[in-house]
């Protein structure tokens, strides 16, 4: 355990930030999985709607620095391509 007051505070804020970061990364992963499931089930309408929410989640995570910009672009591109090929 830290002894210095500022170190104690940073331990608390690190815990809070870790929880927030885990929430955003889990949201992205779940959104991608749900979109993939909709694509696999050939549901055009659901996959298009899920794609929009997934793109929002990916952009949010990228803006917070949880995933790299190029990784975000690659994920969005791959999902968008799969949805378009389905139509």
Report percent pLDDT > 90 for the chain: 97
What is the CA 80 to chain-centroid distance, rounded? 15
Contacts of residue 21, Cβ cutoff 8 Å, sequence gap at least 6: 64, 66
Q: What is the pLDDT of residue 86?
A: 83
Instruction: Using the predicted structure, report yes or no on whether residue 33 has a pLDDT greater than 70.
Output: yes
| Length of the chain measured in residues | 87
Query: What pLDDT score does 87 carry?
Result: 64
Q: What is the pTM of this model?
A: 0.87
Percent of the chain as helix, strand, coil, to the nearest 5: 85, 0, 15
Helices (H), 3-68: 5-40, 44-63
Domain extents for the chain? Answer: 16-86
User: Which architecture characterizes domain 16-86 according to CATH?
Assistant: Up-down Bundle (1.20)
Q: Are 61 and 25 in contact (CB under 8 A)?
A: yes
């Amino acid at each position: 355990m830290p002894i210095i007051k500022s170190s104690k505070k940073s331990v608390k804020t690190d815990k809070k930030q870790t929880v927030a970061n885990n929430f955003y990364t889990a949201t992205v992963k779940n959104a991608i999985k749900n979109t993939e499931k909709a694509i696999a089930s050939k549901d055009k309408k659901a996959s298009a709607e899920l794609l929009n929410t997934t793109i929002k989640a990916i952009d949010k995570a990228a803006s917070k620095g949880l995933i790299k910009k190029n990784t975000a672009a690659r994920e969005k591109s791959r999902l968008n391509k799969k949805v378009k090929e389905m139509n």
